[in-house]
Amino acid sequence: MGLLGDMFGGLRMRDPVRGTAQVVACTRHRGNGVMQRCRMQLVVRADDVPAKSVEHSSPVHRRRWPSPGMTLPVTLDRADPQRLKVQWEEIESSRDRADAAAEGLAASMGSSGSASPAGDPGAARSRLT
């Protein structure tokens, strides 16, 4: 991380390993700021690291803001899983995630012939306007 990272709490990992973090809860993005601090409750795990609940805080770009249920790629310290770094550059943007979810929903609904989950073709449109 370098000298500045060490000065601001980014302690070096003694035994880094790639793993995943399941987002259980996180703060919401507020206002128009591009970067904001996000506090998250995560469950992390990796090879030879049992699942562990951790609290983590990190600056996050608004386009990559996490949501509960997401799985984030992380590098964590095998000896101390509280010490971790989220690999934000590997996460799809919120818009790309929404597009993929909408495409998946449309594909699953295509065979049933239903226009909306509520059965009303205008129901989804009215909530967006």
- b/e per residue, 18-41, with b = 16+ CB within 10 A? ebebbbeebeebeeeeeebebebe
Say what the pTM is: 0.71
Predicted confidence (pLDDT) per residue in 30-80, tens digit? 988 899 999 999 999 999 899 999 999 999 999 999 999 999 999 999 999
pLDDT band at 94 (very low <50, low <70, confident <90, very high): confident
